[in-house]
Amino acid sequence: MSDRFADAVASMPILGAMGIRLVDVGPGRAVADLPAEPNVNHFGVTYAGSLFSVAEMLGGVLSLATFDLDADGELAGFVPLVKESSIRFRRPALGVVRASTSLSDDEVARVRRDALATGKGEFVLEATITDAQGEVVATTLGTYQLRRF
Amino acid sequence: MSDRFADAVASMPILGAMGIRLVDVGPGRAVADLPAEPNVNHFGVTYAGSLFSVAEMLGGVLSLATFDLDADGELAGFVPLVKESSIRFRRPALGVVRASTSLSDDEVARVRRDALATGKGEFVLEATITDAQGEVVATTLGTYQLRRF
């Protein structure tokens, strides 16, 4: 895992407090794990807000890994923002869970074109959160924008 | 603020790590504050997942304060669960923000009736998150259920 992505996560103290760990990040994809502790709620299952967070933060990480946002990059000066997000809880989350999302090559190209042409590239990410048995515990849908900062 | 509600929040370590503080809780209403630190993201504004959490957790607190879930209460054996939730981010959140929600007396009565009759009482909470200037930084819509545990 590139230090660059780990540094971005580490720069946000509350994600560190949740114990979120990047597992796989590359162009068009991002995967992260969330441990049970310290995210358990008073029923002994993982708290809704921590499940939301491990899925939501993938949007920022995927953006960094997919779009060239570096100072000398094609999209220099753009930042990823989340506009809205929804989560559906399917079953209680026990133990370590894994959140995964991806964006197709066609969508990546379209977002890049929109951003360069209009200063704003919007995209929707679906993320799935599964437990160690592969059961889906929650699904999310997030709307993000690359915006000129 | 009743120790009972503060204890419920304190039993969830990640809410403590966010610095969430209950401000006003009573039948049909719940209000909580979220400080900026340690919830700041890499842009220096409050992280999306912390905003989600301070609004989402109101559903549990409001349920405790509104429905008699005690061991000898009318709804003994019921617990509040969140089924789905959405959040819309309106503007960058700076400084302490406050999340507020409420449930009308009619809805409280309807949820209690449904729970007793069917073992499940579902309700929707709208929450608003405002900054110190009273500007709305985010709004949420959460679907909760009182379920027989």
Tens of pLDDT, residues B62-115: 999 999 998 899 999 999 999 999 999 999 999 999 999 999 999 999 999 999
| Distance separating alpha carbons of residues A65 and A73, to the nearest angstrom | 12
Query: Does A23 reach chain B within 8 Å, measured CB to CB?
Result: no
Question: Could you tell me if A6 lies within 8 Å of chain B, comparing CB atoms?
Answer: no
CA distance B86 to A116: 29
Cα–Cα distances in angstroms (integers) from residue B4 to residues B36, B65, B73, B140, in the given order: 25, 9, 15, 25
In angstroms, the Cα distances linking B139 to A33, B26, B55 are 27, 21, 8
Paired with A143 in beta bridges are A84, A124
The pLDDT of residue A2: 60
Task: From residue A128, give the alpha-carbon distance in Å to each of A30, A52, A90, B9, B49.
Answer: 11, 11, 11, 27, 16
With CA atoms as reference, the chain B residue closest to A61 would be: B42
What pLDDT digit, counting tens, does each position of B40-61 carry? 998 899 999 999 999 999 999 9
CA angle in degrees (0–180, nearest 5) for A39-A45-A47: 45
pLDDT at A11: 84
User: Min CA distance, A121 vs chain B (Å)?
Assistant: 17
Contact A13 B49 (CB under 8 A): no
Instruction: Tell how far CA A142 is from the center of its chain.
Output: 9
Does residue B1 have a pLDDT over 70? Answer: no
